[in-house]
Amino acid sequence: MTKPEPVKVGYARVSTIEQNLDMQITALKQYGVHDAMIFTDKMSGAKKNRPGLQAAISTAAETGGEFVVWKLDRLGRTLLGIIGAMQVFEANNVLLVSLTERFDLASPMGKGMFHIMAALAQMERDLIRERTIAGVKAARERGALHGRPQTMTPERMEKAAELALAGVSATKIIPVMKAMPGPSIAKSRVYQWVREFKAQQQAHPCTIDGKTARRTK
């Protein structure tokens, strides 16, 4: 008795509505993904709430088949985001296949690459946390000297650092800061903190996806 083919779930993403998904969708179909099993998003990989990706992951987890992407960076802009998705696949016995990188979690090489990427992602987390803690300490010292309230709480600083490193602009970080628990915070304070954080990254960049985390305006 022949073993049935695993269900193939495809995911395609472009960063803006002006960009075209056709090339990715064509590649997914050529691999054997049916139209009904192709999920898409037209938004930045920095956004955590991507309906198409969430639906694709849920479907793949239910079927226990293959999750197919044209390229690994379709899962997210940062190594942390990609690893997070890969861990969900591994926990649900879903095979991740990247058509461009020829990446297959079912193969020994694919599994080895996954563990290397996971180790790099953990190092990235540690670097972000280390620099955030240093920033919190410096901010507290400045606040103690000048007698001003600490509106950028440690929790806000850690979240703002994560978003800034993912390429999110200060303008988009502001509403996230305002929604978090803590004292009322002014837009100018968030702009100032992000500007100082980016300056610190320019002086001591950490690595994300093989590139330095330097950001320019």
Q: What is the pLDDT of residue 33?
A: 94
Cα–Cα separations (whole angstroms), residue 217 to 35, 149, 171, 214: 40, 29, 12, 10
The widest CA-to-CA distance across the chain, in whole angstroms, is 77
Checking if the pLDDT of 32 tops 90, the result is: yes
Q: What pLDDT shows up at residue 9?
A: 94
Q: Decide if pLDDT at 216 tops 70.
A: no
Q: Give the model confidence (pLDDT) of 106-141 as tens digits.
A: 667 766 766 676 666 666 667 766 766 666 666 556
According to DSSP, the residues that pair with 208 across neighbouring strands are 211
Confidence of residue 162 (pLDDT cuts 50, 70, 90): confident
Interacting residues of 20 by C-beta distance below 8 A, sequence separation 6+: 14
- Tell me the mean pLDDT in the region 68-97: 79
**pLDDT band at residue 215, thresholds of 50, 70 and 90?**
very low
Q: In terms of CATH, what superfamily is 8-106? A: Resolvase, N-terminal catalytic domain (3.40.50.1390)
Band (2; pLDDT cuts 50, 70, 90): low
pTM, full prediction: 0.51
CB 200 within 8 A of CB 135: yes
Give the integer Cα–Cα distance in Å for 131 and 129. Answer: 6
**Does 99 have pLDDT greater than 80?**
yes
Residue type, 76: G
Domain ranges within the chain, ordered by starting residue? 8-106, 123-212
Rounded CA separation 152/186 (Å): 10
Any idea which residues carry the catalytic annotation? 15
Cα distances (angstroms) measured from residue 47 to each of 50, 78, 101: 7, 11, 23
Q: What is the pLDDT of residue 110?
A: 67
The mean pLDDT of 86-115, rounded to a whole number, is 75
Alpha helix locations (H) across the chain? 22-31, 51-63, 79-91, 108-146, 154-165, 170-179, 187-203
